[in-house]
């Protein structure tokens, strides 16, 4: 279906709601206060269908005090029906709405000069010229067509309606991630919690699981509605009602972001490009994005005429996306707006951050990535490229491959400076110098260095092997010249001695492996050998003790029974001076003996 969203804009009482009613028969002013005062207060939603085409209308309020509501509606426009009354001409809210549309890059305008029956042709010509001249000053706006209409002239309404059906919907993004700001919340008896909003990107399906980032909660979509019709899937540029389960009505709020889980992280600051007049450093503004508005502090990084790089500080986490548009309000009026460049907290020094933002503004991701690569010596990840750069993983990798002096781990989606390989090599050299019997693998080195990916460690290992400093044996690596068979026996003995010295309270195996600087697989194989010949016993998942120590523990537990009549966690802890973890393991082993009876929490010997 060819579906697009057309929103209204214009000064109060210029006939926006009346025009929608003539186009599709929908009465937008449904609230009692709206009917009483004769003005639109809240957003209203309606549609008009013809054949395979559907137009969704968002009618916004024109009153100056309701500008936040207007912004939340305009965020979802594909095109705008810009309404100007012929008798009044352009008024203050006409111009403020144009400013908002320009900031949100709602490029396509269809101008409707309403009440055209009330004025002369000469004045209509004048109004049209005034509108064309005014819109010329906004670089992101374009007039598609101008119509002179009157609700008393059916043919003028028909002409406008027919034209609207010639407009084509935006091309749907094939790989966009679903994004949707909640603009209304309510409950329907027999159905449950319902939210409405505009699909900004991607699609949503019935029974799909989504994540409410504002509530930090996963939800399930029980049903999807487009203009009161149940559908299986809704796409970009659809007005959609979602019946959500897994969340309470009180947890759902206007302005919350719904999307797929794992694609966004929240931050209390963002770096942006702003167009505004007389923006003031450290001033407080209202930051409007989607249906959300939040207080923000302005930290100006640099200014050139009316263009600024700004860091915004927020009171709460914001889940913003690269290149996302926003509008700024101060003292209840629009003062500017812009685009998000860096939606996450990136601790760069001021001059380097300005350079970084310049590259992001130009969408020069190769040079932007290069700055991050040089700034993050332990590498930086591009797994969050959708939020951070508006890129999918393949697009991010394409840019990463062009970065000079870098190593790109395409599986882990990490980018490193080439010096990172030398740093890993230095760690391995230190290991084999300190312990000539060290056994390791890429996996064990990566565990030791939590910043290095396994693939990066393998690259360092391969270079050391090519330099004849290490050798590969049975899938692991050792210092060159080490006999692996002899080494395995040595490792078994060293593990046994460590367990023996620890007696009743040994460390977990992975701590022993770290102490010996051996690979986990090698260590596990050595423990399997020791348990196979019963020199060591595995009590629970990560607790191995020598058979000698186990026998000693059981003897001491039996002594407690003889002296106190029973043994349990409390008296065993006190007498053996062990933590609860060890005591429980020994008591559970004692339970396996035929002469021991468990009575509640106590163990006793059969009488």
Residue-range domain boundaries for the chain: 2-164, 179-259, 267-345, 352-417, 547-605
pTM check: above 0.85: no
Q: What is the 3-state secondary structure (H, E, C) of 376-445?
A: CCCCEECCCHHHHHCCCHHHHHHHHCCCCCEEEECCCCEEEECHHHHHHHHHHHHHHHHCCCCCECHHHH
The phi and psi torsions of 246 (rounded to 5 degrees) equal 90, 10
Q: Which pLDDT score, from 0 to 100, does residue 174 have?
A: 60
**Residue 397: other Cβ atoms inside 10 A:** 16
Long-range pairs of 395-398 with CB within 8 A, sequence gap ≥ 24: 396/365
**Rounded Cα–Cα distance for residues 143 and 163 (Å):** 14
Minimal CA–CA distance to 488: which of 520, 461, 523? 523
Minimal CA–CA distance to 164: which of 9, 3, 1, 29? 3
Q: Which pLDDT score, from 0 to 100, does residue 41 have?
A: 46
pLDDT, mean of each 10-residue run, the chain (607 residues): 84 88 74 44 79 86 74 88 94 92 92 95 96 94 96 95 89 78 92 93 95 97 92 91 96 96 96 94 95 96 96 97 96 93 94 98 97 94 94 95 96 95 96 86 90 96 96 84 77 90 92 83 88 92 92 93 92 91 93 89 85
Domains 179-259 and 267-345 agree in fold: yes
Domain 267-345 is in which class?
A: mainly beta
Mutual orientation of helices 547-564 and 484-502 as an angle, nearest 10°? 20
* Residue 174 DSSP class: S
**Rounded Cα–Cα distance for residues 364 and 361 (Å):** 8
Domain 2-164 is in which class?
A: alpha beta
- Asked if 361 contacts 341 with a C-beta cutoff of 8 angstroms, the reply is yes
- Cα angle: 34, vertex 82, 50; to 5 degrees: 85
Domain 547-605 is in which class?
A: mainly alpha
Element (H, E) at 491: helix 484-502
**Rounded Cα–Cα distance for residues 219 and 578 (Å):** 45
The H-assigned helical ranges of 77-199 are 92-103, 121-136, 154-164
Whose tokens are 């109060």? That residue is 12
List all residues 6 or more positions away from 275 whose beta carbon is below 8 Å from its beta carbon: 103, 306, 307, 308, 336, 337, 338
CATH code reported for the domain at 179-259: 2.40.30.10
Minimal CA–CA distance to 6: which of 43, 62, 36, 47? 47
């Amino acid at each position: 279906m060819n579906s697009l969203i057309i929103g209204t804009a214009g000064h109060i009482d210029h006939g926006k709601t009346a025009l929608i009613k003539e186009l599709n028969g929908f009465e937008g002013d449904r609230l009692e206060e709206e009917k009483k005062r004769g003005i639109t207060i809240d957003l209203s939603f309606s549609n008009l269908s013809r054949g395979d085409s559907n137009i969704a209308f968002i009618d916004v309020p024109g009153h100056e005090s309701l500008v936040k509501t207007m912004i939340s509606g305009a965020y979802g426009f594909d095109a705008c029906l810009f309404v100007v009354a012929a008798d009044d001409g352009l008024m203050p809210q006409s111009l403020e709405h144009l400013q908002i549309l320009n900031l949100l890059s709602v490029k396509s305008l269809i101008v409707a000069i309403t009440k055209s029956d009330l004025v002369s042709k000469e004045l209509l010509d004048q109004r049209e010229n005034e509108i064309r001249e005014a819109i010329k000053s906004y670089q992101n706006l374009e007039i598609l067509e101008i119509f002179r209409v009157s609700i008393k002239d059916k043919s003028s309404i028909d002409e406008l309606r027919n034209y609207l059906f010639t407009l084509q919907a935006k091309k749907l993004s094939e790989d966009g991630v679903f994004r949707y700001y909640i603009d209304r919340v309510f409950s329907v008896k027999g159905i449950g919690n319902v939210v409405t909003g505009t699909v900004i990107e991607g699609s949503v399906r019935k029974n799909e699981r989504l994540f409410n980032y504002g509530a930090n909660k996963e939800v399930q979509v029980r049903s999807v509605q487009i203009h009161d019709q149940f559908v299986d899937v809704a796409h970009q540029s659809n007005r959609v009602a979602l019946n959500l389960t897994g969340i309470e009505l009180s947890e759902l709020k206007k302005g919350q972001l719904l999307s797929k889980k794992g694609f966004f992280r929240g931050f209390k600051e963002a770096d942006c490009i702003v167009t505004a007049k007389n923006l003031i450093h450290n001033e407080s503004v209202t930051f409007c994005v989607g249906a959300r508005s939040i207080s923000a502090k302005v930290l100006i990084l640099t200014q050139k005429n009316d263009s600024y790089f700004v860091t915004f500080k927020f009171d709460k986490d914001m889940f913003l996306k690269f290149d996302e548009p926003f509008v700024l309000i101060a003292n209840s009026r629009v003062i500017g707006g812009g685009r998000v460049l860096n939606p996450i907290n990136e601790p760069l020094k001021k001059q380097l951050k300005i350079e970084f933002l310049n590259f992001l503004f130009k969408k020069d991701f190769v040079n932007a990535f290069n700055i991050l690569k040089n700034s993050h010596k332990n590498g930086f990840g591009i797994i969050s490229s959708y939020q951070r750069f508006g890129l999918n993983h393949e697009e991010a990798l394409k840019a990463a491959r062009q970065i000079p002096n870098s190593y790109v781990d395409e599986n882990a989606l990490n980018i490193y400076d080439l010096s990172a390989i030398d740093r890993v090599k230095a760690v391995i050299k230190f290991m084999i110098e300190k312990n000539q019997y060290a056994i390791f693998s890429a996996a064990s080195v990566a565990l030791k260095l939590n910043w290095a990916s396994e693939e990066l460690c393998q690259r360092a290992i391969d270079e050391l092997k090519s330099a004849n400093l290490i050798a590969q044996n049975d899938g692991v690596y050792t210092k060159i010249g080490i006999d692996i068979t002899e080494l395995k026996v040595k490792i078994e003995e060293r593990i046994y001695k460590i367990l023996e010295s620890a007696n009743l309270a040994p460390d977990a195996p992975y701590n022993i492996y770290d102490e010996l600087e051996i690979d986990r697989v090698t260590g596990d194989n050595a423990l399997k050998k020791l348990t196979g010949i019963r020199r060591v016993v595995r009590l629970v998942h990560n607790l191995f003790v020598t058979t000698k120590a186990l026998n000693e523990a059981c003897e001491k537990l039996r002594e407690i029974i003889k002296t106190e009549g029973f043994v349990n966690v409390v008296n065993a802890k006190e007498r053996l001076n062990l933590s609860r973890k060890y005591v429980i393991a020994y008591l559970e082993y004692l339970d396996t003996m035929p002469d021991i009876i468990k009575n509640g929490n106590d163990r006793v010997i059969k009488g």
